Structure 1
Amino acid sequence: FMCAGSMIHNLKDSQDIRFMGSIVNFMPLTSVCFNVSSLSLCGIPFLAGFYSKDLILEMVCLSWINCLIFFFYFVSTGLTASYSFRLFYYSMSGDNNFYSSFYFDDKSYYISFGMLSLLFVAVFGGSFLSWLIFPIPYTIVLPYYLKLLTMLTVALGSYLGYCFSNMNFSNDLFSFNVLFFVSFSGSMWFMPYLSTGFVSY
C-alpha cells in the first residue's frame, strides 16, 4: 500500500493504471518493492504471503466443506493473482502515458525507508513467523493434484490477468449504443439529473 500510495502521489493523485506505463524507469526502488509485495500477495513460494495462503488453502482442501465454498476460495486466489499481474503489466511495461512534461521519482527518504523495511518483512517475515508459530514442522498430506492446485490457480490467474491486459476495446461495444442509459444508470443515485432538472449530460 505504501508503494501504491507513492505512485499515486507522484502521479498527481491519479489512480488510473493506464497512465502508469514504465514506472520502473522513473521509480526503480518503488517498483521493486511493489512487485515483490504483489508477488507475496499472490502467494508465490517462500515469500510471506505463501506461508499463510498455502496453509489456508491446504486446510480448505483437507476439511469437509461445501464444494461452493471450496470453489470460492480458489477463485478468489486466482482473481488476486489476476489483478496483481494486470497491475504489474500496466504499470511496469509499455510507454509512460502520463503528461510528457511531468517528472516523478522516488527520492523521499522516509517513504523509501518504510518501503524497504516492509520489503524485508514481505521476503523474510513469513518464514520467521512460520518457524515461531510452528516449532515442529506442520505437514499436511494431500494428493499431488490438490497440493499443486494452489500454484496452478495462481498461474492461471496470472495468465487471465495478462489476457485482460491485452484486451482491446473498439467502438462497436454494446455499451456505446446505449450510452445515455449507461450514463444515467451509472450516475450516483441519479442525483445529477434530479438536482439540475434533467439538464446535465
Structure 2
Amino acid sequence: GSLVNFIPLTSSFFNICNLSLCGLPFLSGFYSKDLILEFMSMSYMNFYIYFIFYISTGLTVMYTFRLLYYTMLGDLNSISYFSMQDSSEVMLKGMGGLIFLVIFGGGVMSWLVFPTPYMICLPMMMKLMVLLTIILGAMLGYLISSIGLNDFSKTMSFYNLSFFFSSMWNLNYLSTFGVTYYFLMFGEKYNTLIDQGWSEYYGSQNIYMSMKRISIFTQKIFLNNLKIFLTLFLIWVCMLFV
C-alpha cells in the first residue's frame, strides 16, 4: 500500500491503465468495451448471456478498484521494498510513450478503422447501462475492500469442535501418529546420543581436537626450542673459534 508516495509516476501510469481496462469514458478501453456491450444489447441474445456480459464487466471494475485501494491507498505493508523509486529513465520514457496510446489510442483507432460511425440505437437506460455498471463495480470494489471479515469470525467459539473434525476424528493418533512415533523417538535418541554424542566425541570432533593439540605443541617446539638450540649452537661455535 501507499505506493503512490514512493513511485508517483509509475503509480499514475498504473492507475491510468487500470481505469482504461475498466472502460472509463474516453480512454482506449472504453471504446472497445462500450462498443461490445452495446452491440450485445442490440443483438438477439438470451438474458443469461446478456447478464453474464455485464456481470463480467462489473467484476472487472470491482477487482481493479480493489487493486487500486490495496496498492495505492492502503497502509504500507512492504517494509522490505522500502527503497522503491522512479529511478529508471528508460522505463519511465517507455511507459510515458505508451500511456499516450492508452489515452488517445482507442479514439484514434475507432476514427481510423470505421469509415462511418457505427449506428447504435438503444433506449436511454440501456445506453447508460455500461456507465452504470462501471460505477456500480467501482462502488462494490471499494465497499468490499473496506470490510474486514475477520472481525465477524465465529470459529474461535467452536475451536475444540473444529479441531476434532480437522483431526479426522482422532484417526491421526491411531494411525499415523501411533505408527511413526516410536521411529521418530528412536531417531531422535540416535541423533542425540550417537550421531551428536559419543560418535561426535570419539569421531570427527576428537580427531580434530587431537590434531589441533599436536599442531599447537609442534608449533611451540619449532618457535621456541629450536630457536633456542640454534642460538646456543651459534654461541658455542663463536666461543670455539675465539
What TM-score, normalized by structure 1, do the two folds share? 0.75
| Cα deviation digits, residues 16-44 of structure 1 (max 9, x gap) | xxxxx111110011111011111100111
Structure with greater helix share of residues: 2
- The residue aligned with 2:42 is 62
- Structure number with higher relative contact order (C-alpha < 8 Å, ≥ 6 residues apart): 1
SS in 2 for 1:54: helix
SS in 2 for 1:82: helix
Higher mean displacement: 99-108 or 89-98: 99-108
Alignment of 1:27-42 (within 5 A): 27-42=7-22
Q: Report the alpha carbon displacement of residue 168 of structure 1 after superposing the two structures with TM.
A: 0.8
Among all aligned residue pairs of Structure 1 and Structure 2, give the percentage whose two residues are the same amino acid: 49
- The residue aligned with 1:130 is 110
Q: Report the alpha carbon displacement of residue 102 of structure 1 after superposing the two structures with TM.
A: 2.5
SS in 2 for 1:105: coil
Q: Report the alpha carbon displacement of residue 156 of structure 1 after superposing the two structures with TM.
A: 0.5
Taking a change above 3 Å as real, the CA distance of residues 28 and 61 of structure 1, as seen in their structure-2 partners, is: same
The root-mean-square deviation of aligned C-alpha atoms, in Å, is 2.5
Higher mean displacement: 81-90 or 169-178: 169-178
| Cα deviation digits, residues 41-82 of structure 1 (max 9, x gap) | 011111000000000000000000121110000000000000
| Cα deviation digits, residues 81-124 of structure 1 (max 9, x gap) | 00111111111113312117832112112221221122111001
Match of 1:110 among 63, 67, 90: 90
Q: Report the alpha carbon displacement of residue 180 of structure 1 after superposing the two structures with TM.
A: 9.3
Highest CA radius of gyration, 1 or 2?
Answer: 2
Q: Does 1:75 align with 2:59?
A: no
SS in 1 for 2:25: coil
Tell me the distance in 2 between the aligned counterparts of 1:180 and 1:43.
49
> Following TM superposition, where does structure 1 have runs of at least 4 consecutive aligned residues deviating by more than 3 angstroms?
174-182
Tell me the distance in 1 between the aligned counterparts of 2:95 and 2:113.
25
Tell me the distance in 2 between the aligned counterparts of 1:31 and 1:120.
15
Taking a change above 3 Å as real, the CA distance of residues 180 and 112 of structure 1, as seen in their structure-2 partners, is: farther
Alignment of 1:1-201 (within 5 A): 21-99=1-79, 102-170=82-150, 173=153, 178=162
| Cα deviation digits, residues 153-188 of structure 1 (max 9, x gap) | 010000010011101132653677558988x9xxxx
Higher mean displacement: 171-180 or 49-58: 171-180
Tell me the distance in 1 between the aligned counterparts of 2:23 and 2:150.
35
Q: Which runs of no fewer than 5 residues in structure 1 stay unpaired?
A: 1-20, 185-192
Tell me the distance in 2 between the aligned counterparts of 1:136 and 1:26.
46
Tell me the distance in 2 between the aligned counterparts of 1:65 and 1:91.
38
